[in-house]
């Protein structure tokens, strides 16, 4: 159990409604935001951040309770579905959608994190709605039923995911007396509402919550809002839940687990039970060990395994489990030879550990890690407000000294060789568990067991006596050495800050020759000692044929592999490079601290020109690339669907292509529906498309996911491929794709009504929200540079697109938007160019109101949907009418329907959403052309329009 760090009471100033921490908080040197740490009377601790330069505000609240407390309960899915003050279930999301916002939540093993982001002017309204989720949530019965199905759908989308399957087998084979052992994902089958209310009333207590709020307003104003809105969160004065013991005891170690993977992977994992690292935040011994065991330079484990042709990748480090326990992992991606020699790989890992024990802790290594951490924190770059708020609210749970609330474990503060040695001693042959995931195993190993939740084939055996004997008599391996001093550690971090009268909004063309164009943009905003370089090596032949494309990818893999030992130190020191293949050639991106960046850049380019290819490495990387393609072809994934068609100008028409599911165990199907709109240069159409996309997001999610429960993954938005823009909807579901297609078409028709019936004030809010998105400031140097590079790479050089788009948005009336929609998106239009790709017992209370209005049994003006829900609540709630007897009684007595009308309602309710449509949901529309041969279809499409620069080049 971690003890709380208690600050002296004299460091806190007591006010009428809260206490405020009076000492300065450690923060990055270039961070000009103001911070205030307060504690409300209900013991809710809040970090308040005033950022005058931000254009978006955020809040995040972390509850120190998660899936370890009850793996079947997921408050995160249900908490946002209405409160007593804001009972409309999608009020929160609608408010955020109208004001350039977003929201999300996630459940960890011992924390649940909720956060939102919104245009800075609308923080107070969002904050008020957010606060009531922790004061008076409704947990209505109909929402509970639907969200349980969403949780189940989320689980089913992971059924064929190797990482989920492997994790669950490892959990199942852990200590049965520890909650880590239990299944923690969603699945139907529980009567949960009362348990959920009990869970919320037990654990949702202000004293184990942490809140972070970021806004443009002053600290005083933000503090006033926080006190006003969050003081009513109940303090139940509970202890943070803790758990005795460890998931891996002596009964679970010295075992090897073999797991059959879905994909053609070969993964080896060595796991050591470790203590929770929170109490050791000053010295971070696990960080020291992972720095060495995960090193990729000369003398490292990975370097040795590559020489043996046994591995392609290695990662090592601490995995947080929960308060009081954790795991130290060494994970290796094996080659075909490597899986045969998997025991030799394990021996090599322990030989390296033995070398570390013989060498003992080294202060110069700790000091190097410490120095790099301090530089990284000193020059921390801004991220999105919601990311920052969410991260800080989680870090606040670590019980650090108050002045380290921001810096936390970013900084190493104390060299403790004794503590490092104590952790080294935990890396023993009698204190680990081995896991091997693959499709075939050596030594004739057969898998005879099946995991309950994912139906994963596995086997658990003891370690072979021969392996244990080798590990118990481990000897040193001369191949292993400590890493050399890092030559990439930056020494010059000075920044020449100058007065800026007007910030530049586009790069400058400093060289324009037949051989090269060089663009340069000097940092005049962030004043960070960083540089980002993008280089396009143009060669259209690299993508001209499938053979050329594959050879280019293989070349890039060999390049990265040959540089791995050299570049690893650069990566550790905050420098990185990345090569990628595009239609026009190869892109090289190098970024990080400016001081040593030229050194890395020169080395990469020299290696690109003078690479030496060894046959054994070639064979290994070719096999790895082949497996990558096989994964892509394993089933028709949504990303595959997207790549097949969009990007070609499609003449007016409605086309459908089907991709067969090759994984018969996957219960999911999918649809990717695209309506092609315009060329990217069409300013009028592209902004109307962007506005429709923004308006559609909340109703699309609310209708297709929340109400109809088609599946966990539902998405709508703009798709850009080459010169073409399209409006697309994606749904992954257990339903048949033809049914999904008809529901998508139905939604597109209803979306037209939503826009048409939208009040002018709401429509203007949508326009203003999109304008705010366009005007959003760059968060950091890389963010700004990426925008300019994107403008250059695409060939349009439209650096001022934001200005033009904002001016165009101001002119779009609702009438002109409807004209655009009717012509280019409405399914019934003869000008639509659409293409879709398919992969192939209770009453739903939420469907009652649409059924009643469809049958014209109620008048919307006389009875609203909220009025109907109030009637249901007054008559015993959702559960009473979810059986036929109660349902009929309600329709008869409360709505005064006769038997014939009741029968009509029951028929439509049983039909589901499709019952409210005249559309045949068992077949595609008559005007739909089914694509039977993808290649023939693509061959007859016209070519895409080449990019024509907006930029006026003097020599063109």
Is 820 within 8 Å of 692 (Cβ atoms)? yes
DSSP H stretches of helix in 184-329: 193-203, 219-230, 285-293, 301-307
DSSP state of 735: S
**Nearest CA to 165 among 432, 447, 445?**
447
What is the Cα Rg of the chain in Å? 30
**Angle of CA points 302, 304, 306, to nearest 5°:** 70
- Residue 53 to residues 29, 32, 501, 522, 705, Cα–Cα distance (Å): 17, 9, 17, 20, 36
Q: Which residue has the tokens 């400058």?
A: 508
> H or E segment at 786?
helix 781-793
Question: Which three-class secondary structure state does DSSP give residue 66?
Answer: coil
Q: Express the helix, strand and coil content of the chain in percent, nearest 5 each.
A: 45, 20, 40
DSSP state of 83: B
Residues pairing with 270 in the sheet: 330, 434
Is 724 within 8 Å of 648 (Cβ atoms)? yes
**Angle of CA points 34, 22, 392, to nearest 5°:** 50
Extract the tokens encoding 943.
């070519």
- Residue 548 to residues 35, 581, 584, 622, Cα–Cα distance (Å): 54, 11, 13, 14
* CA atoms of 506 and 520, how far apart (whole Å): 9
**Angle of CA points 119, 123, 129, to nearest 5°:** 120
Selected catalytic residue, list 16, 32, 45, 76: 76
Backbone angles phi, psi at 450, to 5 degrees: -130, 125
Question: Which three-class secondary structure state does DSSP give residue 531?
Answer: strand
Backbone angles phi, psi at 846, to 5 degrees: -65, -20
Is 696 within 8 Å of 716 (Cβ atoms)? yes
Q: Which residue has the tokens 């459908």?
A: 656
Is 593 within 8 Å of 487 (Cβ atoms)? no
* CA atoms of 917 and 540, how far apart (whole Å): 49
Residue 45 catalytic?
A: no
Is 95 within 8 Å of 763 (Cβ atoms)? no
* CA atoms of 325 and 248, how far apart (whole Å): 10
Number of Cβ within 10 Å of residue 859's Cβ equals: 10
* CA atoms of 417 and 288, how far apart (whole Å): 10
The contacts of residue 617 (CB under 8 Å, 6+ apart) are: 306, 309, 558, 561, 562
Instruction: Kindly list the catalytic residues.
Output: 76
């Amino acid at each position: 159990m971690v003890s709380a760090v208690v600050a002296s009471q004299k460091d806190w100033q007591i006010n009428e409604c809260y206490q405020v921490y009076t000492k300065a908080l450690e923060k990055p040197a270039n961070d000009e935001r103001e911070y205030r740490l307060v504690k409300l009377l209900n013991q809710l601790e809040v970090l308040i951040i005033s950022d005058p330069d931000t254009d978006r505000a955020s809040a995040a609240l972390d509850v120190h309770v998660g899936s370890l407390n009850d793996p079947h309960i997921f408050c995160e899915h249900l908490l946002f579905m209405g409160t007593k003050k804001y009972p409309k279930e999608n009020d929160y999301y609608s408010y955020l959608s109208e004001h350039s916002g977003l929201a999300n939540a996630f459940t960890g093993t011992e924390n649940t994190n909720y956060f939102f982001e919104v245009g800075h002017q609308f923080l107070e309204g969002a904050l008020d709605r957010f606060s009531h989720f922790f004061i008076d949530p409704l947990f209505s019965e109909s929402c509970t039923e639907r969200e349980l199905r969403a949780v189940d759908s989320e689980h089913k989308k992971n059924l064929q995911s190797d990482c989920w399957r492997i994790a669950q087998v490892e959990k199942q084979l852990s200590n049965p007396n520890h909650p880590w052992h239990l299944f923690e994902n969603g699945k139907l089958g529980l009567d949960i509402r009362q348990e959920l209310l009990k869970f919320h009333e037990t654990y949702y207590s202000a004293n184990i919550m942490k809140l972070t709020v970021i806004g443009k307003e002053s600290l005083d104003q933000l503090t006033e809002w926080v006190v006003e809105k969050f003081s009513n969160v109940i303090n139940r004065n509970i202890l943070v839940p803790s758990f005795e013991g460890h998931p891996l005891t002596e009964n679970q170690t010295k075992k090897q687990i073999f797991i059959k993977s879905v994909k053609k992977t070969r993964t080896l994992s060595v796991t050591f039970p470790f203590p929770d690292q929170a109490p050791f935040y000053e010295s971070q011994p696990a960080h020291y060990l992972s720095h060495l065991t995960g090193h990729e330079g000369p003398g490292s484990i990975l370097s040795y395994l590559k020489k043996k042709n046994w591995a392609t990748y290695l990662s090592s480090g601490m995995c947080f489990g929960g308060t009081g326990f954790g795991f130290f992992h060494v994970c290796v991606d094996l080659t075909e030879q490597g899986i045969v020699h998997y025991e030799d790989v394990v021996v090599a890992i322990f030989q390296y550990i033995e070398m570390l024990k013989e060498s003992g802790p080294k202060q110069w290594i700790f000091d190097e890690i410490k120095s790099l951490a301090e530089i990284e924190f000193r020059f921390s770059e801004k991220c999105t407000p919601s990311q920052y708020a969410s991260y800080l609210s989680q870090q606040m749970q670590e019980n650090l000294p108050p002045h380290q609330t921001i810096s936390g474990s970013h900084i190493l503060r104390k060299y403790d060789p004794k503590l490092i040695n104590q952790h080294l001693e935990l890396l023993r042959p009698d204190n680990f568990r081995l896991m091997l995931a693959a499709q075939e195993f050596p030594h004739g190993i057969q898998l005879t067991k099946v995991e309950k939740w994912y139906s994963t084939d596995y086997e658990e055996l003891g370690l072979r006596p021969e392996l244990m004997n080798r590990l118990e008599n481990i000897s040193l391996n001369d191949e292993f050495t400590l890493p050399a001093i890092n030559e990439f550690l930056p020494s010059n971090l000075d920044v020449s800050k100058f007065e800026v009268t007007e910030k530049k909004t586009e790069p400058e063309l400093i060289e324009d020759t037949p051989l090269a164009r060089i663009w340069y943009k000097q940092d005049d905003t962030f004043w960070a000692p960083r540089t980002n370089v993008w280089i396009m090596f143009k060669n259209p032949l690299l993508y001209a044929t499938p053979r050329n494309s594959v050879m280019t990818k293989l070349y890039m893999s060999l390049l990265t592999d040959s540089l791995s030992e050299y570049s690893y130190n650069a990566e550790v020191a905050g420098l990185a490079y990345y090569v990628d293949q595009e239609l026009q050639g190869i892109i090289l991106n190098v970024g990080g601290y400016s001081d040593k960046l030229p050194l890395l850049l020169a080395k990469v380019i020299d290696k690109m020109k003078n690479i030496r290819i060894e046959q054994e490495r070639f064979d290994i990387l070719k096999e790895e690339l082949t497996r990558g393609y096989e994964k892509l072809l394993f089933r028709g994934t949504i990303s595959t669907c997207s790549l097949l068609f969009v990007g070609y100008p499609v003449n007016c028409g409605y086309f459908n292509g089907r991709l067969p599911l090759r994984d018969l165990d996957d219960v999911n199907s999918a649809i990717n529906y695209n309506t092609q709109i315009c060329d990217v240069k069409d300013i009028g159409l592209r902004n109307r498309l962007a506005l429709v996309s923004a308006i559609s997001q909340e109703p699309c999610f609310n209708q297709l996911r929340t109400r109809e429960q088609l599946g966990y993954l539902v998405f709508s938005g703009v798709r850009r491929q080459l010169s073409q823009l399209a409006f697309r909807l994606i749904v992954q579901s257990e339903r048949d794709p033809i049914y999904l297609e008809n529901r998508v078409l139905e939604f597109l028709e209803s979306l037209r009504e939503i826009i048409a019936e939208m009040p002018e004030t709401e429509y203007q809010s949508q326009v203003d929200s999109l304008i705010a998105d366009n005007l959003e400031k760059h968060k950091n140097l890389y963010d700004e540079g990426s925008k300019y590079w994107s403008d250059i790479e695409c060939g349009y050089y439209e650096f001022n697109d934001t200005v033009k788009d904002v001016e165009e948005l101001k002119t779009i009336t609702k009438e002109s938007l409807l004209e655009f929609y009717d012509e280019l998106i409405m399914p019934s239009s003869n000008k639509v160019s659409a293409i879709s790709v398919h992969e192939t017992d209770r009453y739903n209370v939420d469907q009652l109101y649409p059924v009643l209005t469809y049958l014209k049994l109620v008048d919307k003006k006389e009875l609203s949907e909220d009025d109907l829900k109030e009637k249901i609540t007054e008559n015993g709630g959702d559960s009473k009418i979810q059986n036929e007897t109660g349902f009929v009684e309600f329709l008869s007595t409360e709505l005064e329907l006769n038997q014939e009308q009741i029968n009509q309602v029951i028929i439509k309710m049983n039909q589901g959403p499709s019952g409210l449509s005249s559309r045949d949901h068992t077949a595609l529309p008559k005007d739909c052309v089914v694509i039977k041969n993808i290649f023939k279809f693509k061959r007859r499409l016209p070519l895409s329009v080449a990019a024509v620069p907006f930029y006026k080049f003097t020599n063109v």
